[in-house]
Structures are given as structure tokens and as C-alpha cells.
Amino acid sequence: MKRRIAFTGGGSAGHVTVNLACIPHFLEAGWEVAYIGSENGIERELTQDLRGVRYEAISTGKLRRYFDWKNATDPFRVAKGVLQATRFLSHWKPDVIFSKGGFVSVPVVMGGWLNRIPVVIHESDLTPGLANRLTVPFARKVCVTFPETLEHLPAKKGEWVGAIVRDELMRGKRERGLSLCGFTADKPVLLIMGGSLGAKRINEAIRDRLSERLKRFQIVHICGKGQVDDSLQLEGYKQFAYVKEELPDLLAMTDLVVSRAGSNAIFEFLALAKPMLLIPLSQKASRGDQILNARSFERQGFCHVLLEEDMTQERFDQELAKLWEQRMVYRERMRQSQEADSLTRLLEVIRQAAGEAET
């Protein structure tokens, strides 16, 4: 009988990318794979082209830290999701569940615990997010990207594996990226990326002096769903709401990156040795995890950090100019930072949780 694994995680691309890195390895090994996500979340969009992966949609609610009338109804949606996940897992009987976090993972992990299915959680950020904090008690192992994260977890559950980077990102071609954007090979490329949901403040900052910045850079702008400005049709400026298969080629042609500081993204930039200016989400808009991620990278000499509350047009241009001047130093420092094979370690933890010892 084939072994089975159920993946979960969603709400943003960061809660899906590690799953996307793992899934092909289980398919190649002959496992049956299911993905449990929300009905209309980004996780469904990102996994829909994966052959051999069964998608199971469940109800989910958002865990908010602010007042919203939906806070009164979402607990019922979560409870419904727990019932749906428990029923599916009881019927499908996976050997193990792997959770990347996000709101949709809570019902799945609870359903796994109720069915006595071993659960492995992955936490990308330096401190665990709310969904993972809620589900850690029900997990067998919690794999982490930053060694410092182990301080926030029960000693016997935490497992440092390092950063997980998708293999396909390493196969990008600069020429394909330039052709896709209509760029030339003799002018540097600046990639602006605010995450899968976009970043309005960063979008506004780059567009405010766009013509002036295009004198120095060609700019590829991944601006988020619904945030493309069709009125901006300028040579050397290419907008995308979101990218999937194009991303490796866009990164291959990129010289500098301006980005939020989500853990998965910045470790991908690190693996590709892309000098970065990080503008983390402020504590007003988040729990402050991106600030911790960015400061950790800054201490290691991998990036410049510009806090959103300190961002002016002048400061933005100053930091970008400094990063460009020091780009070769950053590239060399990042290339010397050799991560062990994190994906292999993570896959081994999952297999061991399922009772399959690595041979």
C-alpha cells in the first residue's frame, strides 16, 4: 500500500512555498499526496498545476489581532474546518501531516491530532506566528529556519533545519527574464517585490519618482493582486500582479532587490546572492516578525534595512544608492554563506515522523 502525506498551509505565498519544495520529492518516491487548503486561498492557485496532488478545500477563519465583526463568526468557520479536516483525514488516513502554517493549518493540525496522525510543523520566521503557536502542542516536531527560534519552543519538539529554497529558482535564465520584460542587457535591473499580497507603501514609493529612477535602473515590479497601474506604460518598467513560473527567470536577471522581509523570500534572495534593501512590515501592521528577520540578516551583513516609518523618497534613494555601490561586497558575503542541505534534513524529519527511517 502506498504511503500518504497531507500538506497544509496558506493565506500567503510564504505559507505555501516550502510545501511546493517538498511535494515533488514525495511524488517521485511514490507517495500519494493531498493538499488541504481553503476554498479560494492563494494555496489553491499555487498548487492547481501540480499533477498527482489531491486538493481538499475546508472552511477557515482568520485569526485577527484587531477588532472586526468577523471575529464573532470566524470561530464557527474554524470549527467547521476542524470537522471537515477530521472527516477527510479519518477517511484518507495519511501517514503524516506537514503544516507550513497560516490560518488554514489550524483546523488541519487539530484534525490530525484527533485522528492520531503525526504532524510536522515548519516555522520560517524567527519567532513563531500565531497559527503555529496554537498548533505546536499538537505537533510531533517543529522545524525552524533560524536557530534562535528553538528558544521559543519545547526542547524535545524543536528541530533546526535551515532555510528551504525551491530547486526551480536555481534554474532561471537571465536571457529569458530580459525577453519577458522587454529589457536590455546593458542596464542594471531592480526587482521590487512586496510579497504575494503586495505592499501599497512600497508601490507608491517606487512609482512616485519612477521616471527619475528609470534613468539608472530597469525596474520589474511585482506589485500584488489588484495593484497594477495600467496608466504606467514606460520603457524599462514592467509590472506583474503576481508571478509563478516566471520568477526564476526574473530573479536570474535581477541585480538588486527591494522587498518586504518575509523569511522564505529573503532566504531565496540569499541563496541566489541578490543584494537586498529590506523594508519590513511595521509593528503597526504585523507582530514584528519581519523586523526581526531583517535585523538578523543585517547583523550577518546580507542586506540594508529601511524601516517603513523612516521611509522618505530621499532616504529610499540614499539606501538604494549605497546598496548599489556595495553590491559586490554583499554578493561575495552571501556566496560565502553556505547553508547545509536544509531540504534533505526537512524531508528526513517528515519521513521519520511517518515511521519511515532514512536509509
User: pLDDT tens digits for 167-204?
Assistant: 889 999 999 999 999 999 999 999 999 765 557 888 98
Question: What integer pLDDT is reported at residue 61 of this predicted model?
Answer: 67
Residue 213: inside a domain, yes or no? yes
Q: Are 4 and 23 in contact (CB under 8 A)?
A: no
Domain count, the chain: 2
Give me the mean pLDDT over the 25-51 stretch.
93
Mean pLDDT value across residues 121-138: 90
Q: Tell me whether residue 199 is in a domain.
A: yes
Pairing of strands 141-144, 276-278: unpaired
Longest dimension (CA), the chain: 63
- Do 79 and 209 fall within a single domain? no
Domain check: are 77 and 65 in the same one? yes
Does residue 235 surpass a pLDDT of 70?
A: yes
Pair 202, 279: CB distance under 8 Å = yes
* pTM passes above 0.85: no
Contacts of 107 (CB under 8 A, 6+ apart): 58, 59, 60, 78, 81, 82, 84, 85
**Residue 35 pLDDT > 80:** yes
115/181 same-domain check: no
Rounded alpha-carbon distances, angstroms, from residue 66 to 70, 130, 149, 280, 309: 11, 13, 25, 20, 20
Same domain, 144 and 174: no
Q: What is the CATH number of the domain that holds 77?
A: 3.40.50.2000
In a domain, 290, yes or no: yes
Cβ–Cβ under 8 Å, residues 185 and 293: no
Residues 144 and 239 occupy one common structural domain: no
One domain, residues 131 and 250: no
Q: Is residue 103 part of a domain?
A: yes
pLDDT band at 253 (very low <50, low <70, confident <90, very high): very high
Please give the average per-residue pLDDT across 36-54, as a whole number: 91
| 198 part of a folded domain | yes
Sign for the CA dihedral angle at 75, 100, 21, 23 comes to negative
Is 110 in the same domain as 213?
Answer: no
The answer as to whether 183 is a domain residue is: yes
Whether residues 176 and 289 share a domain: the answer is yes
**Within a domain: 195:** yes
- The answer on 346 and 300 residing in a single domain is no
In a domain, 359, yes or no: no
Same domain flag for 176 and 95: no
Q: Which domain does 273 fall in, by range? A: 168-336
Q: Are residues 120 and 236 in the same domain?
A: no
Q: Same domain, yes or no, for 106 and 250?
A: no
